[in-house]
Structure 1
Amino acid sequence: PEQWLFRIAHNAAQDHLRRRHRERSRMTEIDMTTIEDPSGSADARLAAAAGLRSFMQLSVAQRGAVILVDVLGLSLHETCEVTGATLAATKAALHRGRAQLRILAAEPEQAAAPRLDADDERRLRRYVDLFNARDFDAVRALIAEDIQLEVVNRLRLRGKAEVSTYFGNYDRISDWTLSLGFVDGRPAILIRNPQEPDGAVRGFMLVEWRDERVVQIRDFRYAPWCLIDAEISTVEGPASLEPAPSRASGFVP
């Protein structure tokens, strides 16, 4: 989805700014007076520092223009080629998007906690409890015949027969436990390694439902860049079942 594409672009921009800061910090004061930084505009710095929620409050045209020009560094003409918009429309969207980002950056950040509705929490909690108990036959009973699975950065599977092998892979390893939470405000299943004392989130899953059946799973266990700067929160509630012992080791997608 657009959110994860944005995160990659956003992180690339932040990495660039951090590298430039380290390079500049090594220069003497005299060196600094002789250098003009062509990419250090206030708008570019603001766009690189902006969070996902701020960008999602822009219109599609404004968001696209700001990301392409101020985050990825494309020229106006290159941006027109990517978006198919006219030069005048691109300039207008970029101007309005920059102005809106400045307004949003000046506002106090709203920290309203995301919430799950009762049905979503019930379905997700059952999925997590069965997964943690390694009752994968019961988990397979929850998935639809036309289910689609993506282990991001690894593989894609379609249909219940193919996707059923995915659960066997988790059954062979013990470096995970699941819990309910949110990633950037979106309901998610958080993956932690119970053997790590810090308890940090190491990945997450997004599960889509149709009625009482799972129709899509996106597993970000092997896409750690999606966690960089992500807003992660845990859903408090009844304790999930403890993970049952695994039978072997080594995840084989």
Structure 2
Amino acid sequence: MRPRLHRYCARIVGSAFDGEDVVQDALVRALEAWPVAGEIRQPQAWLMRIAHNAALDALRHRKRRGWLEPETAVDDLPDDAAAADTRVAAAASLAHFMHLSTIERAAVVLADVFGYSLAETSELLGLSVAAIKSALHRGRTRLKAVAQMPAEQRRAINEVDRERLGAYVDHFNARDFDTLRHLLSEEVRLDLVGRAQFVGRKDVSKYFARYEANAACRLALGHAEDRVVLLAIDASTSADVAYVIVLDWEGDRLARIRDFRYGTYVMEGLDWVSSTPRASR
């Protein structure tokens, strides 16, 4: 379910990276709720509801638009999405979904991306079927209009980030991992997405051992979600970009590493551009 949950959460919060944080939060909530939840007859729907609530909490935390009921419910709209609506939703970027209100986003993703029926979408979101119809109608109309708009201009990339990540790439590709270990802060966090988490310089320092043993893996600079990221290319498995690594800094020290080696499903919804002429999307 994890890739499916991420596909939903990323579209609700408008970010592949933030969507993964929401998935982790949702899974923690599910583990905490499990002992007292009783019999769970529909585990996928149960997890989806938890993920939906976690995504809404993330939006509220970011002071974005909260959960809104439609002003009017439309009863006479068609029940099923046309094939064209489904194709538009499936191809839409995460940024496109952010032009919809939260309820429109949720309804379109559940109905047109995941294929839930009106009744199932209504149950998952706790809204009437009429309200779902209304949200779908508005959301589909808006998404089609947004999809036809010119691509939005990317925000300027922080040159400091570009320079220090460029230096990181140079040291990595030269297999100079001792220099990279020196960059770690004392309380650095490592998230091997979908696999494990570590905290503290001593434990996180071991992270580089796997890459030391894999000479076929190299990094390149890229842009995704208006930030500089690391693109991992492993010649032993693929000539194209396999996954991304995201670094967060405190001053000149590494505060957090998010390595998506085991979470490649994030690439599905991520618009990234390589700094090299090839392998851009």
Q: 1:58 maps to what in 2?
A: 100
CA displacement, residues 157-197 of structure 1 (integer Å, 9 cap, x when unaligned): 2222221111112111101111110235442101123578x
Q: Per the alignment, do residues 219 and 187 of structure 1 end up closer, same or farther by CA in structure 2, a change over 3 Å counting?
A: same
Q: 2:257 maps to what in 1?
A: 217
Question: Is 1:128 equivalent to 2:175 in the alignment?
Answer: no
**1:181 aligns to what SS in structure 2?**
strand
- 2:6·2:266 contact (CA, 8 Å) conserved in 1? no
Of 168, 180, 188, the match for 1:147: 188
Q: Give the whole-Å Cα distance in 2 for the aligned partners of 1:144 and 1:89.
A: 49
Q: Give the whole-Å Cα distance in 2 for the aligned partners of 1:174 and 1:7.
A: 35
- 2:224·2:273 contact (CA, 8 Å) conserved in 1? yes
Question: Which residue identity does 2:246 align to in structure 1?
Answer: L
Q: Give the whole-Å Cα distance in 2 for the aligned partners of 1:211 and 1:9.
A: 28
Question: Is 1:83 equivalent to 2:125 in the alignment?
Answer: yes
Q: Percent identity?
A: 37
CA RMSD in angstroms, aligned pairs only: 3.3
Segments of 5+ residues of structure 2 without an aligned counterpart are 12-79, 277-281
Of 238, 242, 253, the match for 1:202: 242
Question: Which residue identity does 1:94 align to in structure 2?
Answer: L
Q: 1:177 maps to what in 2?
A: 218
TM-score normalised according to structure 2 size: 0.62
Q: Give the whole-Å Cα distance in 2 for the aligned partners of 1:8 and 1:116.
A: 25
Question: Is 1:6 equivalent to 2:47 in the alignment?
Answer: no
CA displacement, residues 67-103 of structure 1 (integer Å, 9 cap, x when unaligned): 0111112233432443344555433332221110111
Q: Per the alignment, do residues 83 and 229 of structure 1 end up closer, same or farther by CA in structure 2, a change over 3 Å counting?
A: closer
Question: Which residue identity does 1:155 align to in structure 2?
Answer: A
Q: 1:98 maps to what in 2?
A: 140
Q: Per the alignment, do residues 61 and 215 of structure 1 end up closer, same or farther by CA in structure 2, a change over 3 Å counting?
A: farther
CA displacement, residues 201-238 of structure 1 (integer Å, 9 cap, x when unaligned): 122101112222222211122333433474332236xx
Q: Per the alignment, do residues 121 and 232 of structure 1 end up closer, same or farther by CA in structure 2, a change over 3 Å counting?
A: same
CA displacement, residues 91-127 of structure 1 (integer Å, 9 cap, x when unaligned): 33322211101112333x3263564211211221222
Judge which range, 182-191 or 117-126, deviates more.
Answer: 182-191
- 2:122·2:129 contact (CA, 8 Å) conserved in 1? yes
TM-score normalised according to structure 1 size: 0.68
* Structure having the higher Rg: 1
- 2:229·2:247 contact (CA, 8 Å) conserved in 1? yes
Segments of 5+ residues of structure 1 without an aligned counterpart are 11-37, 237-253
Q: Give the whole-Å Cα distance in 2 for the aligned partners of 1:81 and 1:130.
A: 52
Q: 2:87 maps to what in 1?
A: 45
